[in-house]
Amino acid sequence: MVKSNYDILRISDKSSKKEIREAYRKLVLQFHTDRGGDDEQFKKIKLAYEDLKTGKKYPDTPEEQKRNSKFYADDSDSGKRRRNLLLSHDIAQEMKVAQEWTAAINRSNITGIRLFGSRELGQIEFERKHTKTLEIKGKFWAGHFKYDNPINMRGSITSPYFSPFEDHKTRIEVTKGNFRLIDSLKNNYNIDGGAKIIVGNGDIDVGNVRGKRQTVQDPEGRVGMSVLQEYFTELKAPNGKIITGNVIDTVKLEADTIVVHNLVDNIKVTGKNILVYGTKVTHDVEFFLKKDGKIRFYDQGSGFDISDDSVVNLENGKKIKIRDLKRDKLISLGGKDITYDYIDDRENIKKSAKKNSGNKFSFGKVFRK
């Protein structure tokens, strides 16, 4: 016997809207994956609630799900691409509606909760709290979304990097307040696929971040030739702080202060205060240090896996390789603050220190332990 949406929410089919909402909230708390609940049951509960809001008593049958979905039997590369583009388009359109809805209740300064997204890929719950903070639960797949107050999110973020349409790509913007992935490392919430997160006046606090690179056939059709395509995942908080875990494979970070663990493969880091707490920085990592800023590597060991060939660039065009900073004994055993001014005037500082201390460097005011 097929369960009705009322049965799924464990209520009578005579229940009021208030009773439906209360039952939904109770079951969501019980079955949410963050609390050790069953993910499939959690999805059924969310879909049942959304159906009942539109007056639909029974969930879709398998035949209806197949008919309503954008999936096709064509398993060729072109078929898969078409299917993914259609899904990306649909979800991007849903995110436009989500933005309009959250903007409206934000202007009215009221609370609200609603599901958006795709039945095929899973829906996302948006809830505006009385504090003006927006709570998002679920995976963000595609589309642009902008909000004028803080966002707390429970779920991963990806982007359809394969789409030629810019409005399909994931771009989340917070104009005022922080963007946070709650317990991201514990729950394995990641950001990948070329997604972009921009916070105008606030901080970004997330987990591991990854971009995307792939080798494709030469677009000009030259036989035996291929090109490398890069899809940078980007985090920007120009007036705030970025705190993240491991950053891997084609990522850009830009903020006033950046706190990061390991940096691996094709990473660009721009900031005034750059703090690297991990033990690994690969050769193709570039740092762009802003005027009056500093950078520090907190590796408690020898600094062996912080590549000698990684480069620190200054705003005035000067640059220095990590190997030179290692020679100056500024990397290893917890490291020291390496200031913009030191890199800019390194040779004169070293000559002065040598002259004043008989070949013993005493950098004094330039470094702070």
pLDDT, average across residues 271-282: 97
| pTM listed for this prediction | 0.77
Residue 72 has pLDDT above 50, yes or no: no
Contacting residues for 95 by C-beta, under 8 A, at least 6 apart: 116, 142, 143, 144, 145
Least confident range from 54-63, 184-193, 328-337: namely 54-63
Confidence band for 261, pLDDT divided at 50, 70 and 90: very high
Structure tokens at 232: 């940078």
pLDDT digit string, tens, across residues 214-230: 887 777 777 777 888 99
pLDDT, average across residues 240-259: 97
Residue 47 has pLDDT above 90, yes or no: no
Where does residue 312 rank: exposed (0-12), middle (13-18), buried (19+ CB within 10 A)?
buried
pLDDT digit string, tens, across residues 97-107: 999 999 999 99
Give the alpha-carbon dihedral of 193, 199, 205, 207, to 10 degrees: 0
Number of C-beta neighbours around residue 90 at 10 A: 21
Confidence band for 336, pLDDT divided at 50, 70 and 90: very high
The class that CATH gives domain 1-59 is mainly alpha
Buried b (16+ CB within 10 A) or exposed e, 231-266: bbbbbbbeebbbbbbbbbbbbbbbbbbbbbbbbbbb
pLDDT, average across residues 267-272: 98
Structure tokens at 151: 């966002």
